[in-house]
Structure 1
């Protein structure tokens, strides 16, 4: 806490936000790569009528691999991309009086759509961030695997890293160790054994995507928290204080 107070000096909110964004800077490239992989920019570009905005649910319907929580997960990604000005966002009021956020392609986002007439930077982005590229470079310069007889990759996911290592060092016996539900989805490897645009907006959206690891966790707007408060049986919602635009204290009272 003392370190936090020392960094976030009074009147230096923007500087503190910049520092925090750098600490979690790995999240945005991962979300951008996922958006490219599921062709999110192409889907948004083909919205009808032309240049119309789409909600997360509408975009989710266009994605082949369905998931019960897909619209919610997509909205987190869409908000983060919008905070980096790759998408535009607006609020739409539905017939029942409810509101939802809709998204459209920005002038920068169009360059991530493969069918953009003036060129596309998505393949280059994918290449630079593709794990195999960096892993192959590591294998060319790192000699630590020479002479290893057995190699256990703890938390090895689907075994891709282990497969690359053993492809270069075929005498190694590889053991991929991860949760059963993770390993069962892995492809067979014969050589391995199975076992907004402001900094504040960017920070909140990035933290929101980091919450994928927490079941049901997500960032909410003040009105969404107020609705959750009443839905949970509390009578009063308060936001007594907040710091550097992104962190605050929320009170639910009976």
Structure 2
């Protein structure tokens, strides 16, 4: 096995080992209504994890934005969200990532009739169904 093939095999093995992480992150995003919160910010809006955390009911956790940012970065790596850097206010040179909806979020957020595939996702990811496997 050459070096590149070995590296590819390692990456693939890692992806398989972590296969449960993405659905859990997606389910958490739906449970927290993150896609709807981003959508409510306006068409093409981009929001930071800190801005989203401030809109959550349990935002008293001072580290909520850090935990959200991890979930959002994972969703970005699967092209569920888009991310881009934004300079922090104050001119100190700091940068924050902001997130916007990728095209797939059209189906993960409610349409004009209030319909999305999110309830189906929640059904498939339900603990009872998962334990049956």
Please classify the TM superposition score into its range, dividing by the shorter chain length: 0.7 to 0.9
Residue from 80, 85, 88 that aligns with 1:91: 85
Q: Deviations over 1:197-218 (max 9, x none)?
A: xxxxxxxxxxxxxxxxxxxxxx
After TM superposition, list the pairs within 5 Å mapping 1:17-56 onto structure 2: 17-48=11-42, 50-56=43-49
Q: Please tell me whether residue 116 in structure 1 is matched to residue 107 in structure 2.
A: no
1:65 corresponds to: 58
RMSD: 1.9
Offset of 1:117 from its aligned partner? Answer: 3.7
Specify the SS of the correspondent of 2:45. Answer: coil
Q: Is the 8 A contact 1:45 1:110 kept in 2?
A: no
Q: Deviations over 1:124-178 (max 9, x none)?
A: 111011012344x58xxxxxxxxxxxxxxxxxxxxxxxxxxxxxxxxxxxxxxxx
In 1, Cα distance between equivalents of 2:50 and 2:65: 5
Specify the SS of the correspondent of 1:89. Answer: strand
Q: Which has the higher contact order (CA 8 A, sep 6+)?
A: 2
Unaligned runs of 5+ in 2: none
| Bigger Rg, structure 1 or 2 | 1
1:183 corresponds to: none
Q: TM-score, normalised by structure 1?
A: 0.47
Offset of 1:44 from its aligned partner? Answer: 0.9
In 1, Cα distance between equivalents of 2:9 and 2:71: 25
After TM superposition, list the pairs within 5 Å mapping 1:1-254 onto structure 2: 9-12=2-5, 13-48=7-42, 50-66=43-59, 67-95=61-89, 96=91, 97-113=93-109, 115-117=110-112, 119-135=115-131, 137=132
Offset of 1:68 from its aligned partner? Answer: 1.4
